[in-house]
Each structure stands twice: as structure tokens, then as C-alpha cells.
Amino acid sequence: MSTRSSNAIVTLDFYQQKFKKQVEEDYYLTEDQAFFTSLPKDAIKSYDTAEDRYPIVILNGTQPAGFFILHGWEGVKSFYSNKRAILIRAFSIQADYQGQGIAHECFRRLPSFIKKHFPDKNEIVLAVNHKNTIAQHVYKKGGFTDKGIRAMGKRGRSYIMHLSI
């Protein structure tokens, strides 16, 4: 595993074929991380035919460092009643890039990205497994709050976290 520089600017972009090798073939998560989230290649396969699901790449400079899916009302409604919310699914930062503040910077930039591309949205929600304390910490540090809503996920009980935009 190599160490990457954290001096680059973090940006968000919609997934494009030019990212295919780095995002679908070379992307690495530890076994513990892969237990709680999908690898991008699996998330893309699961969501590539849906109208209201948008794969997003987190770039560190020009290099894909992370990935997630934005999912509209069809994803939100199973957790929450706000029709103007958008759901984050399959969030991850590639193992080589973790611990460099990339997730924090992603969450700092995410509200303006969503306002630009989804101007009707006023809230971001996500589900995090109750055993995934590391991710809970990252999300809280990124501005997400726990309003006490719970749901059952594939791996057990999840906390629904919120970020107003």
C-alpha cells in the first residue's frame, strides 16, 4: 500500500468512464471497511440503471480518492420523510487516502455541489451502522448530526444522520 500526498485540492465530480480503472479496478478498502460499505465497482453495477442515483467521485487533485452514490427520493423515503433530502450511499475513502482529511473536505464541499446540481434539495441524509464507530466519528466531524432516527440495514441497526444545506 502506498502513501499519497494530501497537498492536492479535494473536489467532487460525477463518475465518468475516465475514472473506470482507478475506481472500479484499483480501488482498495480494508476488509473491515468493506464489511460496512460497497466497493465502488459493486455500487456502480447496482445503481447504474436507476434514474435517481448518481455515482460521485471524490478527487484528490486529479486522482480518485473516494466514492459515493447520491440517491434521490426513492432512496430517502425508506429512512426519512423529507422529500427534499438526498441520500448518500456506499461512501468510502480509498485506504491509501484515509487519515488525510479528504472525507472532511468532501463534506465541506458537498452542500455547494448538491445545491449546484440538485437545487431543490435542502438536506443530506445517510445511514451508518451502529457498530461502525469510525464512520460515525467521520460523519459527525463532517457536520452530520444524529436526530435519533433508526433503521434496519443489511448489517443490522443503522443511525440516520443529517446535514442541512
14 within 8 A of 56, measured Cβ to Cβ: yes
Task: Tell me which residue range forms the domain holding 98.
Answer: 10-164
With cut-offs at 50, 70 and 90, classify the pLDDT of residue 6: low
Amino acid at 63: Q
Distance, CA of 2 to CA of 25 (rounded, Å):
16
Q: Total domain count for the chain?
A: 1
Structure confidence at residue 2 (pLDDT): 38
User: For residue 127, how many other CB atoms are within 10 A of its CB?
Assistant: 22
30 within domain boundaries: yes
CATH of the domain at 32: 3.40.630.30
Structure confidence at residue 66 (pLDDT): 97
pLDDT 10s digits, 91-118: 999 999 999 999 999 999 999 999 999 9
User: Which pTM was predicted?
Assistant: 0.90
Structure confidence at residue 79 (pLDDT): 87
2 within domain boundaries: no
Angle at 10 between CA 92 and CA 52, to 5 degrees: 55
Question: Of 110, 102, 108, 92, which Cα lies nearest the Cα of 10?
Answer: 102
Question: Of 125, 15, 121, which Cα lies nearest the Cα of 59?
Answer: 15
pLDDT at 48 over 80: no
75 within 8 A of 127, measured Cβ to Cβ: no
Angle at 143 between CA 142 and CA 149, to 5 degrees: 115
pLDDT 10s digits, 8-20: 799 999 999 999 9
Residue 78 has phi, psi (to 5 degrees) of: -75, -10
> What is the helix (H) or strand (E) element at residue 73, kind and residue range?
helix 73-76
Structure confidence at residue 3 (pLDDT): 40
Structure confidence at residue 1 (pLDDT): 36
pLDDT at 74 over 60: yes
